[in-house]
A and B are shown apart, each in its own frame.
Chain A
Amino acid sequence: MDPATAREAATLGIWTFLATEVLLFGGLFTSYIIYRIKYPQIFYEGHLKLDHVLGAINTVVLIGSSLTVALGIAAIRKGKVGLLRLYLFLTLLLAGTFLGIKYVEYTEKFSHGLYPDTDIFFSLYFMLTGLHGLHVLAGMVLLGAVLFLAGRGRYSESYHTPVEISGLYWHFVDLVWIYLFPLLYLLG
């Protein structure tokens, strides 16, 4: 396979994969719609118990990490490996911050006796944010691998498909949160 075809194949592959991810979360979003219509009161009371300040901070953190990934890709397109590594490191830092804040939030919920089996709102809250959290973790592993390989001099101006693909995945993870935040924390 020549490099140009390989690049096109990889791009088509990651978009197809992201489509499967949309469907995976789709099941949860569908449940959200159904149960929200069925039990508006539970959802209203549930959202009051979430910390929308921490949620908002986390939204900013994740959008920031999307920015650093994009800057990293821009850097490697010009062949600046050092800059790419810096931006990837910042992305991992932000992702870690996100998970840290999530941990604080979960602990807080547990201390108030709010668990996945409390009611349908918290079932949804924990499943949605939990599955999203796993995706953040997977993204960190992916970007960590890219960071490691960048250190080994694997990527250059002419070849950086894995960087772009991991970046696309990371944007997707970010995008899911951009839906989750208003649906869970803000809608009353």
Chain B
Amino acid sequence: MRETTWNGEPLKNGDPPRGYLEAKGFWAWAYTLDHKRIGVMYLYTTLFFFLAGGVFALLIRIKLMFPGQHIFTNQTYNVLFTMHGALMIFLFVIPAIPSGLGNFFIPLQIGARDVAFPRINLMSYWVFVAGIVVILFSLVRPMDTGWTFYTPYSARTAADVTTLSFGIFLIGMSSILTGLNFLVTIHKLRAPGMTWHRMPLFIWSMYATSIIQVLATPVVGITFLLLAMERVLGVGFFDPAKGGDPILFQHFFWFYSHPVVYVMILPAMGIISEIVPAFSRKPIFGYKAIAYSSMAIAVFGFFVWGHHMFVTGMSGTAAILFSLLTYSVAIPTAIKVFNWIATMYRGSITFESPMLYALTFIFLFVIGGLTGMYLGALGADIHVHDTYFIVAHFHYTMVGGTVMGLLAGLHYWFPKMTGRMLSEKMGRPAWLLIFIGFNVTFFTQFILGFEGMPRRYAEYPAQYQALNILSTVGSWILATGILIMFANFVRGLFRGALAPPNPWKALSLEWETGSPPATENFEEIPTVTDWPYGYAGRQT
């Protein structure tokens, strides 16, 4: 069927205006300074590694279905779970929302024509790609360290940790440049009238995220540099034989890698704060509380890294302090959850795909967050540490949280980014399969962990097999859902119905421009007079 209208007006030549997507060809993308195109390139790149990491996960699950049988070697298993963790964390979960959706929507939501430093933005993308190339190059010799690269093993293994460290250094640089760009953009380029308290909550969460990216990432940079130098020059920071301490590596590593879990989750929370009021047709409840809780999470997040190291022999005082601080992170997190629920209370809720994923986020993240409290409790942590309970916990936060937030955002903003609608007929079954598949895969792992099944091993005692089979079957349901979802994306891209400028009747600025937006975003920079959550409330 050929479309005859676009944005409510009759089409002149038969084809809808393509907005920022007009220019075609490799160079039009590779050299682009348009934040929207750069965001799209990040999305394609990160989603590719989401699928790659997912394939590794499926292989891991197949091996775990058959203990004692030779599917592939234990060494191959170690390589697979290292690849799954490293690719998913560094090339997908960390960059996907900030660099992908953040790049696309920060300038649109604050009413700017681009980010503050478009050239640095493009450089950040290509540094990211360079990092990927270096990492892939390092994988010629199979990597078997696990994604945390703990010393002393990572300093000694035959795998090419040196090259990989350089790759991660580049990925980190890219992350810093993006965060820096966003900080300055949010400070300096807001449209006239957009005060701090009129900013969309996605912007608040991206602001908090950027602070963490800028302040935490350099530490992982120096850590991997020291690791590489230990292998090349024999410096002894982490080598007990030279007076160093392998535990210092863990401190440095988690000083980055704990705050960075908030780089993963805060942008997702921002997306939920956009979707929940739009699909409840009610003003967001507790705007300031949600905004400031993002900042609080960013600040607290820097002081809790020790909870990854409760069993490394740290002093009781330090452990109690880290435990207490870990608990304190739950407060701003709970504030958000309560405010989302209060927003929905007596709202006119509709259940299109974005809202389904947003609700899934809230449901799964509450489970992930609360089990995090078990792990912050010293006694409980010692019981379940290094078991599948941990694996289940962080998949509930990173998949149940970040990935669901990303999928919510992708479904919510797909019409804006592509100018076409997704099919709800495909979207809802895909969501249902993802929801069921995820819970079958990972809830079983909570039970396995509590029963004492250790993580990371290729083999396990036969008593755990039944639940492992269930978990593996769950991973197939999850994968089917994700495949249908991607099929929906591809279908929508080519054959989706043309999208109006504001399909969800939402109130933030990105919906006031065309779908897809023109290269310069707005014909005229809008003047902001109100917050973006003035929904009518319940119709009586």
Contact = CB atoms under 8 A, between A and B. Distances in A.
Interface of A: 1, 5, 8-9, 12-13, 16-17, 19-21, 23-28, 31, 34-35, 38-39, 42, 115-117, 119-120, 123, 126-127, 131
Contacts of B189: 1, 5, 9
Given A21-B218, A23-B215, A24-B222, A127 B180 contact: no
Contacts of B113: 1
B188 A127 contact: no
A12 B188 contact: yes
B243 A120 contact: yes
14 contacts: A1-B189, A9-B117, A20-B180, A23-B215, A23-B219, A24-B219, A24-B222, A27-B252, A116-B229, A117-B235, A120-B236, A123-B244, A126-B233, A126-B235
Contacts of B188: 5, 8-9, 12
A26 B116 CA distance: 28
A20 B183 contact: no
A126 B234 CA distance: 11
Interface residues of B, number: 35
A137 to B, nearest CB: 16
Interface string B247-286: 0100010000000000000000000000000000000000
Given A16-B214, A23-B218, 5 more contacts: A20-B214, A27-B218, A117-B236, A123-B235, A123-B242
A64 B181 CA distance: 33
Q: Which of B184, B189, B223, B244 has the most CB of A within 10 A?
A: B184
Given A39-B243, A126-B235, A13 B222 contact: no
Interface of B: 113, 116-117, 176, 180-181, 183-185, 187-189, 214-219, 221-223, 225-226, 229, 233-237, 242-245, 248, 252
Nearest to B223: A27
A20 B218 contact: yes
B494 to A, nearest CB: 36
Contact of B244 (A28, A120, A126): A120
Contacts of A12: 183-184, 187-188
A27 to B, nearest CB: 4
A1 to B, nearest CB: 7
Given A20-B217, A26-B218, A31 B237 contact: yes
Contact of B235 (A16, A20, A39, A127): A127
Contacts of B248: 31, 34
B225 to A, nearest CB: 8
A138 B537 CA distance: 56
Contacts, number: 96
B184 to A, nearest CB: 5
B242 A120 contact: yes
A34 B245 CA distance: 10
A40 to B, nearest CB: 12
B379 to A, nearest CB: 29
A34 B249 CA distance: 13
Contacts of A1: 113, 116, 189
Which 4 residue pairs of A and B lie closest in terms of their CB atoms, listed nearest first?
A117-B234, A27-B222, A23-B218, A123-B235
Given A27-B223, A27-B252, A116 B233 contact: yes
Nearest to B216: A23
Contacts of A117: 233-236, 242
B242 A20 contact: no
A20 B234 contact: no
Contacts of A25: 222
Q: Which of A23, A115, A126 has the most CB of B within 10 A?
A: A23
A39 B113 CA distance: 56
Contacts of A115: 233-234
Contacts of B242: 117, 119-120, 123
B117 A13 contact: yes
A31 B221 CA distance: 15
Given A9-B116, A13-B180, A119 B243 contact: yes
Nearest to B115: A9
Contacts of A35: 243-244
Q: Which of A13, A27, A116 has the most CB of B within 10 A?
A: A27
Contacts of B215: 19-20, 23
A126 B233 CA distance: 10
Nearest to A38: B243
Contacts of B217: 20
Nearest to B252: A27
Contacts of B183: 12, 16
B496 to A, nearest CB: 35
Contacts of B234: 115-117
Contacts of B252: 27
